[in-house]
């Protein structure tokens, strides 16, 4: 086995979107002669870092019988530090790494990392982000021990814009740090081809050959084949959404407000590009569904919408605002296994994407790949970008333009009223198996190890 240090701040039993990519790489590394020593946040410390912690111990069953070493790192209490409003403001304002969690565990991190490297024949460092604070620390270890550094960017660092930068200075600092990591890493793994284009635009001095595209994927053994859906005679059609929306009205207001509308230090806030995260919410789907019910009143008794995931305070208000309270069921957080069962029991699977004004969104939701395995129509309210590209290529999606509600209304009515055939793109589906993706990653790691020797 080739031993590697695998830095994954978020890892099961934590149940958040960021853990699954790391989990399934870990699951299949042994198949390609790699033994990962995984450094992660201790589960006993989750409530010190996250306001809403959800655990799913069943996720770790994926690693039963695997030759894997998991090392838990203790952390100071970030939430306790946040209670002092003045100190919390200063901490946020003068932090430019967009992921301050890391500094509260770095002392124990370095102690444990050094022990692992010195006591094992570690050949490479593989680090996944966010939180982005882990990247500079992984770089320090790489330089100290002359180990190749492979960086997995699950999200773009500079363009992770769920809220404005406190100032343009913060943006420039982040851009500089991102550039440093991209230049110093041996390889940079990205989850969408659009991310490579964004990096090339932001960092023209970094070689294109440094980037490798490895998307998220699916784990199940699935035989894809054309499938037909016909809901015309069904008494009930269930549309399901799994996961979070990463939208809040407060953050969106901060992103979209003109500088003249802001007060005090907020006038210094800076956004490098305009993004509208309302598109990531179910707003445009609800707007469409309301009009569908106006055109087809009988559908009110036929269509049921289920949301499985955390319930933000704005969601119930949005549902009531569109008059959909009787049709929408909020299930709250569910385990991974329950989420899979909900998808299997559903007729249609819903997905959304944020909107980059005058540009293209880089993000592809992890749930997309699970949706594919269900071989059911994916109702996609998506904008221009990587998410839309993948769904169009899949052959399993109904693409709805959120800005063209009348067309979306007709598409949804057609889906419910008529027999439709979907043909999965077989070559694409075969390329998205997690074991195959881990094989590609293993080859990249081994090549960098060989180049370093």
Name which of 394, 384, 383, 370 is nearest 240 in CA terms: 370
Rounded distance between C-alpha atoms, residue 43 and residue 46, angstroms: 5
Residue with tokens 């590394």: 29
For 126-165, how does the pLDDT look when each residue is reduced to its tens digit (9 = 90+)? Answer: 999 988 889 999 999 999 999 999 999 999 899 987 778 8
Determine how many CB atoms are found less than 10 A away from the CB of residue 361.
23
Q: What integer pLDDT is reported at residue 102 of this predicted model?
A: 58
Q: What integer pLDDT is reported at residue 104 of this predicted model?
A: 64
Helix, strand, coil percentages in the chain from 3-state DSSP, rounded to 5: 45, 20, 35
Residue 221 corresponds to which tokens in the numbers above? 């053994």
Please check whether the two domains, 2-217+434-452 and 227-431, share a CATH topology. Answer: yes
Residue with tokens 């293993």: 442
Name which of 13, 118, 116, 107 is nearest 60 in CA terms: 13
Q: What integer pLDDT is reported at residue 405 of this predicted model?
A: 97
Ranges assigned E (strand) in 225-283 = 227-229, 237-242, 275-276
Quick one: CATH architecture of 2-217+434-452? 3-Layer(aba) Sandwich (3.40)
For 237-291, how does the pLDDT look when each residue is reduced to its tens digit (9 = 90+)? Answer: 999 999 888 888 888 887 787 776 777 767 888 889 999 999 999 999 999 999 9
Name which of 383, 376, 328 is nearest 360 in CA terms: 383
Q: Beta strand pairing status for 227-229 and 2-7? A: unpaired
Q: What integer pLDDT is reported at residue 90 of this predicted model?
A: 41
Residue 352 corresponds to which tokens in the numbers above? 């959304």
Under CATH, domain 227-431 is a member of which superfamily?
A: Glycogen Phosphorylase B; (3.40.50.2000)
Residue with tokens 């799994």: 242
Rounded distance between C-alpha atoms, residue 371 and residue 348, angstroms: 10
Domain range annotation of the chain? 2-217+434-452, 227-431
Q: What integer pLDDT is reported at residue 161 of this predicted model?
A: 79
The DSSP output letter for 47 is H
Give the number of residues written for the chain. 453
Q: What integer pLDDT is reported at residue 250 of this predicted model?
A: 84
Dihedrals phi, psi of 439, to nearest 5 degrees? -60, -45
Q: Nearest 5°: CA angle at 306, between 305 and 307?
A: 125
Residue 425 corresponds to which tokens in the numbers above? 């793109």
Report CA 233 to chain centroid distance, whole Å. 37
Dihedrals phi, psi of 35, to nearest 5 degrees? -110, 115
Name which of 345, 340, 317 is nearest 330 in CA terms: 317
Q: What integer pLDDT is reported at residue 103 of this predicted model?
A: 63
Name which of 224, 230, 159 is nearest 191 in CA terms: 159
Which pTM was predicted?
Answer: 0.90
Low-confidence ranges of the chain (pLDDT < 50): 82-83, 85-98
């Amino acid at each position: 086995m080739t031993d590697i240090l695998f830095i994954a701040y978020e890892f099961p039993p934590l149940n958040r979107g960021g853990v699954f990519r790391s989990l399934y790489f870990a699951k299949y590394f042994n198949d390609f002669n790699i033994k990962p020593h995984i450094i992660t946040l201790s589960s006993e410390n989750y409530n010190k870092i996250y306001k809403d912690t959800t655990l799913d111990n069943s996720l770790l069953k994926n690693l039963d019988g695997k030759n894997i070493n998991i090392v838990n790192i203790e952390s100071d209490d970030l939430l306790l530090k946040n209670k002092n409003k003045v100190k919390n403001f200063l901490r946020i304002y003068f932090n430019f790494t967009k992921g301050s969690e890391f500094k509260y565990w770095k002392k124990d991190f370095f102690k444990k990392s050094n022990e692992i490297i010195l006591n094992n024949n570690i050949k490479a460092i593989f680090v996944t982000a966010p939180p982005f604070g882990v990247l500079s620390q992984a770089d320090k270890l790489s330089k100290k021990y002359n180990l190749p550094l492979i960086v997995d960017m699950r999200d773009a660092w500079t363009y992770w814009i769920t809220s404005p930068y406190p100032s343009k200075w913060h943006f420039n600092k982040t851009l500089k740090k991102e550039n440093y990591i991209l230049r110093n890493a041996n390889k940079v793994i990205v989850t969408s081809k659009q991310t490579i284009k964004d990096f090339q635009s932001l960092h023209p001095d970094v070689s294109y050959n440094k980037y490798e595209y490895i998307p998220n994927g699916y784990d199940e053994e699935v035989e894809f084949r054309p499938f037909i859906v016909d809901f015309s005679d069904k008494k009930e059609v269930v549309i399901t959404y799994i996961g979070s929306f990463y939208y809040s009205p407060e953050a969106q207001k901060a992103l979209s407000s003109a500088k003249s509308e802001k007060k005090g230090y907020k006038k210094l806030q800076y956004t490098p590009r305009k993004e509208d995260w309302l598109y990531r919410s179910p707003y445009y789907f609800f707007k469409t569904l309301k009009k569908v019910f106006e055109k087809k009143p009988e559908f009110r008794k036929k269509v049921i919408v289920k949301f499985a995931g955390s319930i933000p305070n704005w969601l119930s208000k949005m549902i009531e605002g569109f008059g959909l309270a009787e049709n929408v069921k909020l299930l709250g957080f569910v385990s991974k296994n329950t989420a899979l069962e909900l998808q299997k029991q559903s007729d249609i699977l819903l997905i959304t994407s944020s909107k980059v004004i005058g540009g293209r969104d880089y993000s592809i939701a992890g749930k997309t790949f699970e949706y594919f395995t269900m071989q059911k129509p994916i109702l996609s309210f998506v904008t221009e970008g990587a998410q839309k590209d993948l769904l169009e290529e899949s052959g399993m999606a109904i693409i709805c333009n959120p800005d063209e509600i009348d067309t979306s209304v007709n598409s949804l009515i057609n889906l419910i009223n008529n027999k439709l055939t979907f043909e999965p793109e077989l070559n694409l589906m075969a390329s998205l198996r997690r074991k195959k993706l881990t094989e590609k990653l293993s080859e990249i790691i081994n090549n960098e190890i060989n180049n370093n020797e």
